[in-house]
Structure 1
Amino acid sequence: MNPIVAAATVAALMAAGSSASAAAQAPGLALAGPLPPAGQMVRAGPLPVRLTLAQAMEEADARSPRVLAAAAEVEAARGRQRQASYRFNPILNVDVENFAGTGPYSGFAGLETTVSINQRLDLGGRRRARMTLADAEFVAAQYRLEIARADLAFEVRGQFAATIAARDDLALARENETRTRELVRVAQTMVDTGNEPPLRAFRANAALVQATAELRAAEAGETSARRSLAALLGVATPPAELIDGEIGTRPADVDARATLDVRLAETEQAIAEARLRGQRAEARVDPSVGLGVRQLRETGDRALVANLSMPLPIFDRNQGNVAAARADVAAAAARRENAVVTAAAAIANARADLDSAEARLAALEGAGIEQAREGVRLAELSYRAGKSSLVEYIDAQQAYAATRTELIAARRARAEAWAILARQAAAEGDADHQR
């Protein structure tokens, strides 16, 4: 048999055994599906003219570069996961001896050729450690993708609520300005007829100046809020109309230990532990074995050769890296405990804020706002009839505006508390898709 052919046969047998062993030891790799098309881009084009909260979150998820980047990181981790399963490549050695010498070894008369294959054996568990680490890093990348989506949904919920509140503030400011302008007209008429002193007209005009200033501020605030929402959705032109009223089902009790942030912290702890196992495996000795064929030119005979090589861990036993990896495990465990505490506090605070906002809304949306509105109507009738003063009428208007402002603030607080609970309740594979 030709020595090159023999060596190739040895290499094929080694490769076949390596592949079979890899398939047997890495069944989880079957979960790695095909990669997405290269050059995938975020969604472009205008937003719907009338935008609901559910549509806003869907648009943000489809248009966000950060979500696309996190998805690409998942595919990168999938590639590293696949790479980690491969064994060490065999090494082909070709040795040529006993040529270009003197006497019987002059020229190529005594040439001896040896072709061998050397394979490093993974007795220390390096491949298993690599695969465990890559699996954990793949899971962590998936969690980071879901967290990116959940964070984006949280931001959209908050900005959507802020834009709705700004819109309602603008509507209230316009209503106040219109009512105050009418008040100036009525006050001037009563001054002209002698029913009020001229000072009352000045007082009414001062109230109009204040209402106009508040209207301009509300217009600027509403424009800024709509632009911020548009930027969050990845467009320059804000939607023409927002459809509010979407809150959804109150999230069930959320276990802090089941939140995405805690799960990611647990996965990062598993990554640190896998790295520690990897560093310990690096400290172990992996021998290399070889098998080949030698051809003796002088006699034309062939013979098998075998070799074994092994590093001697006299100086470097990877002690420093093992100690560092052990400290990283302790740090990851502490970060996991901190994530649990932080999530529990966020959930408790959000539930308290939600209960408070709903209690305020129950009082304001019931008799509170109706009483304030009726108070303005009666104060206006009384003032027109000359039975009450201008100051009383202005006080009634201000009380109504304050009640409306409190109602708007309570609705926004409820939406923001709900956004926090929805963020904490986001589960793997379902982050921000609870809409």
Structure 2
Amino acid sequence: MRFLFSVALLCAAATAAPVSAQTPTVITSLTDALRIGEDNAARLRAADAGLAGAGGALMQAGVRPNPELFVDAENFAGSKSYSGTQSLEWTAGLSQRIEIGGKRTARISEAQAGLTQAGHQRDLEALSLRADIARTYIRVLASARRVELADRQKDNAATIASAVDARVEAGKEAAVQTQRADILRATAGMAAQKARGAYQASLAELAALLNRPAGSLQLQTGWLDEIGAVPDIAPDEASLAVNPKYALITAAIERARAGIAVATAAAVPDPTLRAGFRRYNDDDSSAIVVGVSVPIPVFDRNRGAILEARQSLIRAEAEQEAARLEILGDLAKSRTAVLTAYQQVQTLKSAVEPAADRALSAARDGYQTGKFDFLNLLDAQRTRFEIEEQLAAALEEYHLARIALTTLVGRVE
């Protein structure tokens, strides 16, 4: 039956464990396949780890420099009056580097931009996974449809061969027609075997994406016929704004701008404040000491890092413009492909299939009554199966084109 295709028997020979020992995974639609795939995707766990790491970077960006404990000892272990520890002077205290020039704020802004970028990267990885699952699922259903069609062709060839044998025995056909019927039957058998092999290969690919044994998958193929309406997606700025790749590049631009602020702030020298307690051994007195040190930016003004950051921004902006043109072009091509495939499916279903059915029915009746010869019947039968193959290919092409179009606006459906 076209709308229910069980894969258990087809995969029995390819699986190490019996199908009965595996928990069945029933997939009735693309929604089921996407849910199962996302629940078992190592790719998403890796992307989640990257997002969590960006959160850690943001946390670290807001941390201030640690204070430093220092201890200084002077005037000991020398000669004459400085021998021993009689003239020892020691100082203990804390030093603290004070960040100025907006360094901490710039770091936080860059880390926040990095977190946003990681979020878009995670969304893009999730979308890529869903698109991979969808494309593979569509190909599996189309392969299953071809297996079903090849099996019917095989059965039909056997039926025709039996009818030809009967007509040859009755003297209504030449003996050579028996050989032709045998060739038809053998060719149909090889085609069925080839279709089954292609199906099992595509099913194994889907099983890997879903992290499920191939023998446990039970697919209903009726979803392939559900073409629905063409998605209302146009190649315009609104579609561009929700494109995940474009969003990722936009986030990269914001991070590059924040990187310029970080590099510029790093050029401002930070003072270090010191405060401590000094003890004089020679007269058993003590005193409070304070100090400040400031680096002198004579050699290092961070100009190279600033230049690098500015060039990173220029590169990101150029990539954004290139991506804009590419995505708008992809939207236009994908929409055209969807419309073309949709029209092809509609024409095959509404006009071509019914006409082929009528021609085949007339050829069968004519052959049984002797009005048509064997070649007429074969031609009508071949035409009908070719149309079914065209319809399966058109449905596959439509769904793949639809996935390509909706992926460009960040969804798979």
Fold agreement, TM-score > 0.5: yes
5 Å-filtered alignment, 1:22-421, equals 48-102=25-79, 104-238=81-215, 239-245=217-223, 251-253=231-233, 255-421=239-405
The alignment's TM-score, normalised by the length of structure 2, stands at 0.87
Residue pair 1:180, 1:204 contacting (<8 A) in 2 also: yes
Rounded to whole Å, the distance in 1 between the matches of 2:289 and 2:229 is 74
Distance in structure 2 (CA, Å) of the matches to 1:236 and 1:190:
49
CA contact (8 A) 2:76 2:88 kept: yes
Q: Which amino acid aligns with 1:133?
A: E
Q: How many residues matched?
A: 385
TM-score, scaled to structure 1: 0.83
Which deviations, in whole Å up to 9, do the C-alpha atoms of 1:144-185 show, x marking residues without a partner? 111111011111111111011111111111111111211111
C-alpha displacement at 1:124, in angstroms? 2.8
CA distance, structure 1, for counterparts of residue 210 and residue 24 of structure 2? 9
Give the C-alpha shift of residue 103 in structure 1. Answer: 5.2
Instruction: Determine helix, strand or coil for the equivalent of 1:304.
Output: strand
* Cα deviation digits, residues 310-366 of structure 1 (max 9, x gap): 112222222222222222211111111222222222222221111111111111112
1:424 to 401, 408, 411: 408
Q: Is the 8 A contact 2:157 2:188 kept in 1?
A: yes
Is the partner of 2:379 in helix, strand or coil? Answer: helix
Using the TM superposition, name which of 198-207 and 170-179 deviates more. Answer: 198-207
Match in the other structure for 1:21: none
The structural deviation recorded for 1:248 is 6.8
Q: Aligned partners of 1:409 and 1:304: how far apart in 2? A: 88
What percent identity do the matched residue pairs reach? 26
| Partners of 1:114 and 1:295 within 8 A in 2 | yes
Which residues of structure 2 form unaligned runs of 5+? 1-21
Over aligned residues, Cα RMSD in angstroms?
A: 2.1
Rounded to whole Å, the distance in 2 between the matches of 1:276 and 1:405 is 58
Q: How far apart, in 2, do the equivalents of 1:69 and 1:308 lie?
A: 47
Gaps of 5+ in 1: 1-44
1:241-266 CA distance string (max 9 Å, x none): 23542667754436123211001011
